[in-house]
Amino acid sequence: MNFTKTTARQFVRECEQELRNDFERVDDIALHNQEKVLKAFQNNGIQARHMFGTTGYGYDDIGRDTLARVFAEVLGAESALVSPHIVSGTHALTLMLFGVLRPNDTLLAVSGMPYDTLCDVISGENKGSLADYGVKFDVVELNTVDKQPVFDFDEIENRLKSQKIKAVFVARSRGYCWRSAISVEQIAELVKFVKKISPETLVIVDNCYGEFVEKIEPNDVGADLVAGSLIKNIGGGIVPTGGYVAGKEKWVEQVAFRLTSPSIGAEVGSFIGGYLQYFEGLFLAPSVVKNAVRSALLFAKAYSKLGFETLPDGKTPPYDIICSLKLNSAERLIDFCGAIQEISPIDSNVVPMPWAMPGYQDEVIMAAGAFVQGASIELSADSPIKEPYIAYIQGALTYEHALLAVEHTLVKTVK
């Protein structure tokens, strides 16, 4: 089927009508989370004075410290570390891992291998990795039932009983795997299961792409620590850089020692730029995440109606902001990412091409015409160039932009 701009618009409008019930559910989640964020601002008495930055050591930086308390409340955590000095989600996860793991400890990943950029963090040679410091690593793959991820509780139990596990690691989102995201309800079941067998074992979560997609967060159901990036969901599309770790106060403190030094932890850390974007981004995040989830649903609906395999697949709610689209050829994948770049507000004249990005195992193509460089809460698409050539679509600051993007990709890539 060849689309014109007119026929694509008509087709997408039909898809929207079929998604009415899904959109109502997403809107309800956004309203709940907006109220939660608003109450956190009010409970912590946020004022204009909290927006200003500091210099030097940043002692008694009221903006930094209050921002952390707001994040902790929103995420259902005892404490949080929020910093522009955390450069990415990978950095936040690395801080979390190094904060709690010590030589001869064992880290058990129970959602399969972590995201590509964590591979060198865990097992890189002579790079200051966990392995270099004597931390052992083990992995349990997920089972899959109807394309939905399911923890292999039998195998997790075997590992917990056969060796001392310091921390169980879960990635909510899919990385570059053909699976749906893991729900907070599933994480709650995992926490209960792990703590019953080994109460001292920590449950730590890669929270990237998951914040505000549901009404509750992993800390609400007992996760010891979560980590994420501020240029994804929780930054609301306007935070320029940074990351966070949140959870039990004891463990957040250990992470703060890793971010700065064991002698000072979170007591220092100046940021002259101030925190206005950080507070405002968090306030906007529930609405922006709503737009991103609607975007994922619309892409999935449109392409599944044309016979492509997609996740979400319409059978279960989405638990992150991503749509996985199986395009089945390198040429179509590159064309699709090119179409996303063309319909972007920034760098729309740039042609994305595959390249060997640091930290990835295959050549990767990334389309992201974003106001904040690399911000995947803004509409973007990326993929490793390998079979079955899956495009991973995420973000959308406005739903209207996503709608236009679906139309444009249909015209450009569906032949």
pLDDT values of the chain reduced to their tens digit, one per residue, 415 residues: 789 999 999 999 999 999 999 999 999 999 999 999 999 999 999 999 999 999 999 999 999 999 999 999 999 999 999 999 999 999 999 999 999 999 999 999 999 999 888 999 999 999 999 999 999 999 999 998 877 899 999 999 999 999 999 999 999 999 888 999 999 999 999 999 999 999 999 999 999 999 999 999 999 999 999 999 999 999 999 999 999 999 999 999 999 999 999 999 999 999 999 999 999 999 999 999 999 999 999 999 999 999 999 999 988 899 999 999 999 999 999 999 999 999 999 999 999 999 887 767 789 999 999 999 999 999 999 999 999 999 999 999 999 999 999 999 999 998 7
Q: Which domains occur in the chain, in start order? A: 5-33+286-413 (3.90.1150.60), 37-281 (3.40.640.10)
Q: How far is CA 189 from CA 32, 152, 168, 223, in A?
A: 23, 12, 13, 11
Which amino acid would we find at residue 97? L
Strands 167-171 and 106-109: parallel
Q: Which residues contact 214 (CB under 8 A, 6 or more apart)?
A: 29, 183, 184, 319
**Furthest C-alpha separation in the chain:** 64
Contact 300, 313 (CB under 8 A): yes
CA 327 to chain CA centroid, nearest Å: 23
* Residue 412: Cβ-neighbour burial (10 angstroms; 0-12, 13-18, 19+): middle
